[in-house]
Amino acid sequence: MNHPIENASNGAPADACPQDRASFVRTTLVGIAVGAAFNLLIVVWTWVQNDAGLAARAATALVMPIGLLWTLTLIACLVCFGQGFRRIGILFAMLFLFLSITGNGSVADASMSGIEWRRTDLETLPAPLRCVVVLGGGVGIAYDGVPELGMAGQRIMFTAQLWHAGKTQSVLCTGGSPLSPIPPAAAGRMLLESIAVPSDKIFESPGDNTSEEMKNLAAFFASPPTDFPSEGKIGLVTSASHMKRAMRLAAANGLSFIPLPCGFETSLDYDFSPRELIPSAGAMDSLGRSIKERLARIVKR
């Protein structure tokens, strides 16, 4: 009787390995084809429903790191199921779903909407305020040491708008950093001075985080400089998503502020675009920061 020559490593017939390889290659090619077709469907769907410009953005999003990882997890899921590796396939399916949810802009918007402080009607302000406190975090230092508006830069812009609208008698910039050569408070002062807020109306208070900023503010207001305004209420400017935590920490330090939120991240409602199905790093960052604010409330920080 003739017997097939067996593989020395696992006792399988010698022709099993080529067959397995062929099956794997075939399944992989099918997975890649399905992944490519899925991506093409999103781009074409965006073009038909919206326009060529948004379709181009969808194609760009798909070749960004998060978009590529999203597609690769789908392909890996299909390959694993096609090869009979159900448990690994389920893991990739869960990863695909995780990326789809955490990188979705609508999910991030919904999460942010739950923590953002609503906008204050400036017409109701008891003008002029004694002071507007602008929390650090809105300014970054460029490679050449020049302060520039960062992601939360609306804090500085809004503060300048309040000053030029005659809503406040002074501005108090906060923030410190053990790493930056220019503390956030000083950088905020520099930018405000560059947009015509008088230097003698700007004050500074340190603090490496919101908790420290509030403790230092309590000390500042307990013994303010002689040239600091003495009458009026105090407004607090920070990002809308950060305001609840800031107000909670302010109350814990005996401070009472009028909330002046800015930098809202919850976007205006738009018509649905298939491009929104593609996860993005921006949406993940927004969702992560909303989760951070909720965790801070739990641990009372």
DSSP 55-78: HHHHHHHHTSHHHHHHHHHHHHHH
Question: Between residues 279 and 14, which one has the greater pLDDT?
Answer: 279
pLDDT of 66 strictly over 70: yes
Q: What is the pLDDT of residue 23?
A: 86
Looking at the domain assignment, is residue 1 inside a domain? no
> Mind listing the pLDDT tens digit for each residue in 173-210?
999 988 888 999 999 999 999 999 999 999 999 999 99
Q: What is the pLDDT of residue 18?
A: 67
pLDDT of 60 strictly over 80: yes
Q: What is the pLDDT of residue 16?
A: 47
Same domain, 90 and 126: no
Q: What is the pLDDT of residue 287?
A: 95
> Mind listing the pLDDT tens digit for each residue in 20-48?
888 889 999 999 999 999 999 999 999 99
Looking at the domain assignment, is residue 271 inside a domain? no
Q: Answer yes or no: are the C-beta atoms of 234 and 258 closer than 8 Å.
A: yes
Hey, what's the torsion of the CAs at 146, 171, 125, 238, to 10 degrees?
50
Q: What is the pLDDT of residue 294?
A: 92
Q: What is the pLDDT of residue 17?
A: 65
Looking at the domain assignment, is residue 238 inside a domain? yes
Same domain, 101 and 127: no
User: How large is the average pLDDT for residues 72-83?
Assistant: 95
Same domain, 162 and 104: no
Q: What is the pLDDT of residue 240?
A: 96
Same domain, 151 and 108: no
> Mind listing the pLDDT tens digit for each residue in 213-236?
999 999 999 999 999 999 999 999
pLDDT band at 267 (very low <50, low <70, confident <90, very high): confident
Q: Answer yes or no: are the C-beta atoms of 75 and 31 closer than 8 Å.
A: yes
> In 3D, which of 297, 285, 2, 291 has the Cα closest to residue 151?
285
Same domain, 169 and 197: yes
Length of the chain: 301
Same domain, 71 and 139: no
Question: Between residues 18 and 30, which one has the greater pLDDT?
Answer: 30
Same domain, 259 and 126: yes
Same domain, 41 and 72: yes
pLDDT of 15 strictly over 60: no
Same domain, 248 and 197: yes
User: How large is the average pLDDT for residues 97-107?
Assistant: 95
Looking from the CA of 106 toward its CB, the CA atoms found within 13 Å total 12
Q: What is the pLDDT of residue 99?
A: 98
Looking at the domain assignment, is residue 4 inside a domain? no
Looking at the domain assignment, is residue 152 inside a domain? yes
pLDDT of 4 strictly over 60: no
Report d(CA 216, CA 213) in Å as an integer.
5
Question: Apex CA 288: angle with CA 287 and CA 291, to 5°?
Answer: 90
Q: Answer yes or no: are the C-beta atoms of 155 and 239 closer than 8 Å.
A: yes
Q: What is the pTM of this model?
A: 0.84
User: Considering 263, 278, 293, which residue would you say is the last residue of a domain?
Assistant: 263
User: Considering 78, 112, 146, which residue would you say is the last residue of a domain?
Assistant: 112
User: Considering 112, 145, 177, which residue would you say is the last residue of a domain?
Assistant: 112
For residue 264, what are the contacts with CB-CB under 8 A and spacing of at least 6? 116, 119, 240
DSSP structural state of residue 227: T
Same domain, 181 and 259: yes
Looking at the domain assignment, is residue 213 inside a domain? yes
Report d(CA 169, CA 133) in Å as an integer.
11
pLDDT exceeding 90 applies to what percent of the chain? 80
Rounded mean pLDDT of the chain? 91
Same domain, 229 and 179: yes
Q: Which domain covers residue 133, as residue numbers? A: 122-263
Same domain, 126 and 81: no
Looking at the domain assignment, is residue 214 inside a domain? yes
CATH number of the domain at 142, please. Answer: 3.40.50.620
Looking at the domain assignment, is residue 6 inside a domain? no
User: How large is the average pLDDT for residues 243-266?
Assistant: 95
Q: Answer yes or no: are the C-beta atoms of 294 and 115 closer than 8 Å.
A: yes
Q: Please tell me the total count of domains within the chain.
A: 2
Q: What is the pLDDT of residue 9?
A: 43
Q: Answer yes or no: are the C-beta atoms of 286 and 114 closer than 8 Å.
A: no
- The total of other beta-carbon atoms located within 10 Å of residue 11's CB is 8
pLDDT band at 5 (very low <50, low <70, confident <90, very high): very low
